[in-house]
Structure 1
């Protein structure tokens, strides 16, 4: 599946002991390949399993990941851990020049208030 590119592992050390291994799933969102709700449901599925999700987008797909992240946060499914912005060189055109493109990465983690059995937020 083109949505999940990497599966990274992170160890959290507290007082010298390894606590829990957290998986980070990177989802590269496209403006044209799949609809917004495909990426939203994919991210929600991995967040419900207790994994972190990194949403990545280039150029015109950036508003899509912002909408996905806001839906997940407003419904109490995820919390925002970090936002990273950068500029990359896109593919070269016919004259051999590369065009800069904006890149946005949003790292989301599972909200502690999520009820794992129903998927609804506790108040």
Structure 2
């Protein structure tokens, strides 16, 4: 009788039987999202939690390592733990067991996490360095272009730094 109740609960809510999924875990996959999607998602998770866990399988491991390094190099996170393992997954096409590498990286907030995030937000809102980087600082060079009527008109072409 107890097994029937557990099975009924599993049908209604699989998480109730397995347990709640970690709310501070980011599972990275290959080619679904760009790298900075995961960097920005990690920053948002870190604003809510003291630590986050980045995890990936197979080819996505490089992306997880890069995200962790970006967060560490920007002074936002410190590395707490790295776990590597191999798991078996079933190939749905061939029906056989495939072994895949897995990585889990546990990152914690740095003491000055909130200060850095505040200064990043100020820079994005234009309160930072006055637009000294990016396209705002491009030089312009005059270029002669031919107009539709055969005459030439002067235009400007942006030159990157």
Structure 2 unaligned spans of 5+: 1-19, 121-161
Q: Which residue of 2 aligns with 1:59?
A: 58
Q: CA RMSD in A?
A: 2.1
User: 1:80, 1:109 within 8 Å by CA — same for their partners in 2?
Assistant: yes
In the alignment, the residues of structure 2 paired with residue 94 and residue 117 of structure 1 have an alpha-carbon distance, to the nearest angstrom, of 45
Q: Which residue of 1 aligns with 2:22?
A: 7
Q: Which residue of 2 aligns with 1:97?
A: 96
In the alignment, the residues of structure 1 paired with residue 48 and residue 116 of structure 2 have an alpha-carbon distance, to the nearest angstrom, of 8
Structure with greater helix percent = 2
In the alignment, the residues of structure 1 paired with residue 58 and residue 48 of structure 2 have an alpha-carbon distance, to the nearest angstrom, of 30
Structure with greater strand percent = 1
Query: TM-score, normalized by length of structure 1?
Result: 0.72
Structure 1 unaligned spans of 5+: 9-24
Q: Which residue of 2 aligns with 1:14?
A: none
- Give the number of the structure whose alpha-carbon radius of gyration is greater: 2
Q: Give, in angstroms, the shift of residue 91 of structure 1.
A: 1.9
Does 1:48 find its partner at 2:47?
yes
Q: Which residue of 2 aligns with 1:70?
A: 69
In the alignment, the residues of structure 2 paired with residue 75 and residue 66 of structure 1 have an alpha-carbon distance, to the nearest angstrom, of 14
> How many residues end up aligned between the 2 structures?
100
In the alignment, the residues of structure 2 paired with residue 29 and residue 89 of structure 1 have an alpha-carbon distance, to the nearest angstrom, of 18
In the alignment, the residues of structure 1 paired with residue 99 and residue 117 of structure 2 have an alpha-carbon distance, to the nearest angstrom, of 44
User: 1:48, 1:119 within 8 Å by CA — same for their partners in 2?
Assistant: no
User: 1:48, 1:116 within 8 Å by CA — same for their partners in 2?
Assistant: no
